[in-house]
Structures are given as structure tokens and as C-alpha cells.
């Protein structure tokens, strides 16, 4: 299997596991969402959540009072989004072919997904649906490895395809139709048990595409590590996260 084949397989691996994704993946902090939309001023905005998945970012936008259109290519993921976030307008579509008219949204936000886009096609398409002066922002949840146990746990999560995981932190392609790139990190946390943290890792694409035997070995290794640590051995705990955000402005 070529690198491109594996990447495509990973990109298309989530839909069959959409309920688990909705249950176990973390959301995004309100502070980060407010910062993304800060250049637009106060008040509700028309926001496109692109590659919205099961609505982890959609929910935060709705909670802050914004009008949300969620676009997602996978039917299973979109069904979960509708089930959890019925106030959003939900549409099938891709970053390369957005089902919206020109200049109809104030902001386009992308949670944990920009690395799956074809930037050469997606950036002009995103620019098309944005109003002049609108913002494009990509957000990624990542482990906060400044906590020693988290750094050790991350090493325990590696699978045979984890070497591709640098793609998850593509800094978001810059483009002539966008200006003023700025980055910021936000602290976040995700309440977990040892078992539910293992379940969260199992929603990551590298764990979804490996063979059953390797997945069983991975899960046993992660659970053994978590049960060996005082921070995570019993009951619920906070998994420290960092949310990386990059924001651009439509010229």
C-alpha cells in the first residue's frame, strides 16, 4: 500500500465509527472559538463548520449563539451531528466542493480536519463562500505533553502507521486570497477514565486502519500503562490538552 493509499484509507476510516467518535472525542474551548471570531466583532455570525464530523466544533459555536452550517462528506458522521446538534443546518459536501453560494458566511472553521484537504482546490473554494474580511481558522486538539505521564502515554499509543501523524498538524496552507496569519494555543482538558481514554485513541485514524491483532496489542499496552500510573489508575481524571489554532483573514 502506497503512502497516498494509506492516507486515503485513514481519511475515510471515521464514518463506520461515528457514534464512538461522538462519544469519545474532545470538544473545543469557548475561549478558542471566541478568539477565532474576534475580528468579526460582537453578535451572532454566519459560520461554516467545514468537515464538521460529528459536530464537536458545531456544538461550541451554537452554544455561543452563532448561526452554523455544518458541511461533512461522510453520511455516518453527518447523521451523528444532526442527532446531537439539530439546531445547525447540516449539508453533505467537501472542502473542495462546498454546497453554498458565493459570499454567504462570515467565517469558516475547521476542527481536526484541515490536514485531509487538497489545499490547491480547497483554499479558493473556501475563499469563494467567505464574505470579504471574513476569517478562516483551523483548530487541532493535541496532547499536552508537558505533563510527564501524558508524554509517556503518547509513546504507548504509537502504532505501525503513526509515522504519518505529522499530517495532523499541517499549519494550514497560506494563500494569496488570505492575509494576516496568526497562531495561538489554548489550554483544554478532556475528562476520561483509563478505559474511555483507550476508547478515544481508538477513534484516531491510525488505530482504525491497523489489523485487529495489532489493535488488541495497542489497547492492552495503553490500558496497562494507565493502570500503572497513580494519575490514571482509578476513576475519572483530566487529560491535559492543547488546542492549536491558526487564523487567516479573507482579503
In a domain? residue 210: no
Lowest mean pLDDT among 3-12, 36-45, 146-155, 222-231: 3-12
Within a domain: residue 152? no
In the chain, how many domains are there? 1
Asked, for residue 176, whether it belongs to a domain, the answer is: yes
Question: Is residue 212 included in any domain, yes or no?
Answer: no
141: closest CA among 72, 56, 18, 19?
Answer: 56
- What is the model's pLDDT at position 133? 96
Q: What percent of the chain clears pLDDT 70, i.e. is strictly above it? A: 88
Order across the sheet with 105-111: list the strands.
89-92, 67-72, 46-50, 105-111, 130-143, 237-250, 178-192
Q: What residues make up the domain containing 127? A: 3-142+164-192+240-250
Q: Is pLDDT of 54 > 90?
A: yes
Task: Assess if residue 102 is contained within a domain.
Answer: yes
Question: pLDDT digit string (tens) for 198-228?
Answer: 999 988 877 776 678 888 889 999 999 999 9
- Note the pLDDT tens digit of each residue in 71-85: 999 999 999 999 999
Residue 188 lies in a domain: yes
Q: What is the CATH number of the domain that holds 129?
A: 3.40.50.150
Amino acid at each position: 500500500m502506497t503512502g497516498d493509499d494509506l492516507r486515503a484509507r485513514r481519511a475515510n476510516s471515521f464514518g463506520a465509527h461515528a457514534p464512538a467518535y461522538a462519544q469519545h472525542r474532545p470538544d473545543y474551548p469557548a475561549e478558542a472559538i471566541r478568539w477565532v471570531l474576534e475580528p468579526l466583532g460582537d453578535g451572532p455570525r454566519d459560520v461554516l463548520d467545514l468537515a464538521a464530523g460529528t459536530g464537536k466544533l458545531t456544538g461550541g459555536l451554537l452554544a455561543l449563539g452563532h448561526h452554523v452550517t455544518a458541511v461533512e462528506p461522510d453520511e455516518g458522521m453527518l447523521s451523528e451531528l444532526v442527532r446531537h446538534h439539530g439546531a445547525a443546518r447540516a449539508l453533505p459536501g467537501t472542502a473542495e466542493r462546498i454546497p453554498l453560494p458565493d459570499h454567504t458566511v462570515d467565517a469558516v472553521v475547521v476542527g481536526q480536519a484541515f490536514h485531509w484537504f487538497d489545499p490547491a482546490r480547497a483554499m479558493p473554494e473556501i475563499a469563494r463562500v467567505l464574505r470579504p474580511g471574513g476569517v478562516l481558522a483551523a483548530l487541532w486538539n493535541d496532547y499536552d505533553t508537558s505533563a510527564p505521564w501524558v508524554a509517556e502515554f503518547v509513546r504507548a499509543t504509537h502504532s505501525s502507521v503513526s509515522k504519518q501523524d505529522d499530517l495532523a498538524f499541517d499549519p494550514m496552507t497560506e494563500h494569496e486570497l488570505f492575509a494576516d496569519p496568526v497562531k495561538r494555543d489554548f489550554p483544554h482538558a478532556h475528562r476520561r477514565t483509563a478505559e474511555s481514554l483507550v476508547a478515544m485513541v481508538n477513534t484516531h485514524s491510525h488505530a482504525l486502519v491497523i489489523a485487529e491483532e495489532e489493535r488488541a496489542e495497542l489497547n492492552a499496552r495503553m490500558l496497562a500503562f494507565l493502570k500503572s500510573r497513580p494519575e490514571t489508575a482509578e476513576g475519572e481524571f483530566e487529560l491535559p490538552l492543547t488546542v492549536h489554532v491558526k487564523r487567516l483573514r479573507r482579503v
